[in-house]
Amino acid sequence: MSFEFIKKLPTPNEIREQYPMTEKMAQVKAQRDDMIRKVITGESDKFLVIIGPCSADNEDAVCDYTSRLAKMQEKVADRVVIVPRIYTNKPRTTGEGYKGMVHQPDPGAKPDMLAGILAIRRMHMRSIEETGLTSADEMLYPENWRYLSDILSYVAIGARSVEDQQHRLTVSGMDVPAGMKNPTSGDYSVMLNSVVAAQHGHDFIYRGWEVKTSGNPLAHTILRGSVNKHGNAIPNYHYEDLQLLLEMYGERDLQYPAAIVDANHSNSNKQYEQQIRIVKEVLHSRKSSADIKNLVKGVMIESYIEPGCQKIGKDQVYGKSITDPCLGWEESERLIEDIAELC
């Protein structure tokens, strides 16, 4: 019935001093940030593919996977910007289960937040160094943002977090694109209100400081489907859903109206193999309407080396998800090629 204070964690500045970004990695990030920003603002007509495992649970497997993405990026560079999805924080509906590498660097061991903070920073930096691709992560805990703020090129705010004021205000201080998902209820107004909040500046308390932010014009929406009161998944990637979002954007004074379509979660009802069909339908909708093409800047795909998922245990399959099921590499490779051809 009370808090147990286990250990005081180092500040973000202390962690950065211990594991600093090299000058070369900082240059890569600046270039990548500009490339991704231009897609969101419409200065570039390239298509974002934010792709990777449901949860980044194993550094070697994740970096193996992102190295494969780097080779694909070279093949599709004229049409597609690939952003590796390296998610180290996992929201849990009931609070039970694996909460990501930040909690458990070893999924089979007890939580160790300090070891987790160090592990996720090392993994993100290793991926940049080996691939030249900066990545995306989910901001589950706003106070943890600055442990990775010099590394990430894209941030997602999940469906269970998007209504939280601290998440919205923290995004308002970011200088990279931040995708605000629709809540699990599917309410577009809640999602768009979060974008309004994130695009404006605020005064608030953050990590023991009174802070002031200037607003993040790169905040935008992510459509991930919803769940109704009966527990049924309701997709929102169809043409009519995109048209509705376009109309609702038009009712608000927002900079750079943009949307990413999450092909998994409630859009696929976690039938991971359906992501291929869903992505192709989204691309068809973009071809059918110039306005929708301008709105939909990319897709989010859950993918890993091996298809499906597995439970945490002794005999782990290398490169297979321990949370939600993902596409395997062969399917993912073909899908990226198809996206480059169809976008």
The superfamily in CATH containing domain 12-37+46-342 is Aldolase class I (3.20.20.70)
If DSSP states are collapsed to H, E and C, what string results for 155-173?
A: EEECCCCCCCHHHHHHHCC
Count CB-CB contacts under 10 A for residue 94: 5
- Which residue, among 42, 37, 27, has the nearest Cα to 175 in the 3D structure? 37
User: Tokens for 115?
Assistant: 């070891």
User: Tokens for 215?
Assistant: 């607003």
Instruction: Give the chain's mean pLDDT.
Output: 96
* Alpha carbons 107 and 323: distance in angstroms, whole number: 11
Residue 280 pLDDT greater than 70, yes or no: yes
* Alpha carbons 261 and 220: distance in angstroms, whole number: 11
Q: Using 50, 70 and 90 to split pLDDT, how confident is the model at 250?
A: very high
Do residues 131 and 69 make contact, with C-beta atoms less than 8 angstroms apart?
Answer: yes
Work out the percent of the chain whose per-residue pLDDT is above 70.
100
Do residues 239 and 261 make contact, with C-beta atoms less than 8 angstroms apart?
Answer: no
> What is the pTM assigned to this prediction?
0.97
- Mean pLDDT, rounded, for 155-180: 98
Work out the percent of the chain whose per-residue pLDDT is above 90.
94
* Alpha carbons 171 and 206: distance in angstroms, whole number: 12
Residue 313: its pLDDT value, please? 86
* Alpha carbons 229 and 221: distance in angstroms, whole number: 23
112-124: pLDDT as tens digits: 999 999 999 999 9
Q: In sequence order, what are the beta bridge partners of 180?
A: 157, 221
Residue 92: its pLDDT value, please? 76
Spatial neighbors of 167 by CB under 8 A, at least 6 apart, are: 139, 142, 157, 161, 194
* Alpha carbons 138 and 155: distance in angstroms, whole number: 6
71-110: pLDDT as tens digits: 999 999 999 999 999 999 888 777 778 889 999 999 988 9
Count CB-CB contacts under 10 A for residue 287: 11
Q: HSE, CB side, 13 Å, CA atoms: give it for residue 149.
A: 15
In degrees and rounded to multiples of 5, residue 191 shows phi and psi of: -60, -45
The phi-psi region of residue 195 (left if phi > 0; otherwise alpha if psi is between -120 and 50; otherwise beta) is alpha
Residue 1: its pLDDT value, please? 63
The length of the chain is 343
* Alpha carbons 64 and 255: distance in angstroms, whole number: 37
- Mean pLDDT, rounded, for 292-299: 98
Spatial neighbors of 10 by CB under 8 A, at least 6 apart, are: 18, 114, 117
Residue 262 pLDDT greater than 80, yes or no: yes
- At residue 246, the 3 state secondary structure works out as helix
Residue 329 pLDDT greater than 80, yes or no: yes
39-66: pLDDT as tens digits: 999 999 999 999 999 999 999 999 999 9
Q: Which helix (H) or strand (E) covers residue 240, if one does?
A: helix 239-250
- Mean pLDDT, rounded, for 167-171: 98
Do residues 297 and 310 make contact, with C-beta atoms less than 8 angstroms apart?
Answer: no
Cβ burial of 322 (10 Å; 0-12, 13-18, 19+) is: buried
Residue 54: its pLDDT value, please? 96
Spatial neighbors of 333 by CB under 8 A, at least 6 apart, are: 68, 72
Residue 314: its pLDDT value, please? 82
2-38: pLDDT as tens digits: 899 999 999 999 999 999 999 999 999 999 999 999 9
